[in-house]
Amino acid sequence: MIKLTAFFLLVAFVSCNMEPKETENSVEQSSVTYSKLEYLKNIKKIDIHTHIRSEQQFLVDFMDEWNFKFCTVCTIGSSSKYLQPQIDTAKMLYNKDPRHYAWITTFDVSNREEPDWAKSVIVKLKDDFNNGAVGVKVWKAIGMQYKKSNGEYLQLDDPVFTPIFNFIAQEEKTLMAHMGEPIHAWMPTYTTKKGVGRNYWAKHPEYSFWDKPELPSYSDIMAARDHVLERHPNLKFVGAHLGSMEFDVDEMITRFERYPNFAVELGGRTRYFMWQARGKVYDFFIKYQDRLMYGTDKGSRFTMTDEIKKETKKEIEFRNNLFLRYYATNDEIPWGNIIAGDRPKPQPSYNVTGLNLPKEVLDKFFYKNAVNWFPGIDKDF
Ligand SMILES: [Zn+2]
């Protein structure tokens, strides 16, 4: 009994003595994470998902200051009026300044039922690859908007796309697919009492599939995407916006385990990681560290006033600052309810603890994985 009491006293003494050490450790810890943030700011980084629709000096200044390269993604494959200027800008930027710009092309799907459509797409893609495109993007309108002549919604696993996907795989390029929406698109929209739309789907009713049972379901769209993954095991396939499975890392894990040709990029969806259990998200990053890429979905518009340029620059700095801190430190980061889309800067209402990822994982997430999944993207960088 005496021995036991002595043992407890010893334990109590040791733990008391540990106290100041623990404080020292946490000081040490925060300086470690601080230096890790500095490390991350300094290493080469690729933002795999930007939309650069006009050449802007402030973007180049940002990339130089933060050691970034931007990959601009051409999108919307149904209007050549909208599509061609994006492709022309991306090509021009790449040819002029490959240190700062890489690009992912896309193709026009509007004539898909015409004979030889796929052949003509392949001719264009060949030219884009010769002009440095590292991949091809397909957009959510496939699955949610375009219909076939029989009235069915066109899905990604439609045979019309097969020769194109075969060609992309054969050229060792990568398909980036924004398929479907976050699952919220199938849930009620948010409107104010005055009837003002507060989230994206309230403002874009064409993509709100809430209470429309005749439209494709979330699972239909994910299943069509998964069929393509299965059918084209040699096609490198990157799911944009975390493959629209941002709400639960388990959804991504299921596909990573099933399809070795599948990776995802963030596409500005960090907040969904913030909403899930931190330990689970941390383990997810450790285990699947070769399958995740950083992307913000930011960029420049076709035309920009000085005021918009200033705002955009501030926004890009603000977001990258916040997200780099989230991934590299264990800081308590004030965060808020971003569903309130009618308020441009919602007030933080709670804190989120940063993930504090190991350096090797940061290296991969911010740079090396982009180079592996989009070979050639590191040209001149
Ligand atoms: Zn985007």
For 32-47, write each residue's pLDDT tens digit: 666 899 999 999 999 9
* Ligand 1 center to 289 CA (angstroms): 22
According to the model, what pLDDT value does residue 71 have?
98
pLDDT at 33: 64
**Least confident stretch, 108-117, 222-231, 287-296, 344-353:** 344-353
pLDDT of residue 23 exceeding 60: no
Quick check: pTM over 0.75?
yes
Examine the pLDDT at 76 and tell me if it is beyond 80. Answer: no
- For residue 178, the CA-to-ligand 1 centroid distance in Å is 8
Whether pLDDT at 24 is above 80: no
**Tens digit of pLDDT for each residue in 201-233?**
888 888 888 888 899 999 999 999 999 999 999
- How far, in Å, is the centroid of ligand 1 from the Cα of 49? 6
pLDDT value of position 334: 85
Q: How far is the CA of 122 from the centre of ligand 1 (A)?
A: 23
pLDDT score, position 337: 60
d(CA 52, ligand 1 centre) in Å:
10
Q: Distance, CA 17 to ligand 1 centroid (Å)?
A: 53
Domains detected in the chain: 44-307+358-373 (3.20.20.140)
Closest listed residue to residue 106, CA positions, set 144, 79, 70, 143: 79
CA of 373 to the centre of ligand 1 (A): 18
Q: Which of 56-65, 130-139, 140-149, 371-380 is predicted with the least confidence, judged by mean pLDDT?
A: 140-149
The count of other CB atoms within 10 Å of the CB of residue 311 is: 13
Distance CA 61, CA 40 (A): 18
The SS3 of residue 38 is helix
| Residue 367 predicted with pLDDT over 80 | yes
Phi, psi (deg, nearest 5) at residue 73:
-110, 120
Token pair belonging to 78: 């149904």
Q: Both tokens of residue 235?
A: 């096609």
Which residues lie below 8 Å from residue 298, measured CB to CB, with a gap of 6+? 47, 50, 51, 268, 312, 315, 316, 319
Q: Over the chain, what is the mean pLDDT?
A: 88
Q: Are 277 and 271 in contact (CB under 8 A)?
A: no
Distance (Å) from CA 87 to ligand 1 centroid: 15
Rounded to an integer, what distance in angstroms lies between the CA atom of residue 173 and that of residue 159? Answer: 20
Q: Distance from the CA of 75 to the center of ligand 1, in angstroms?
A: 7
Whether residue 258 has pLDDT greater than 90: yes
- Percentage above 70 pLDDT, the chain: 87
CA of 297 to the centre of ligand 1 (A): 5
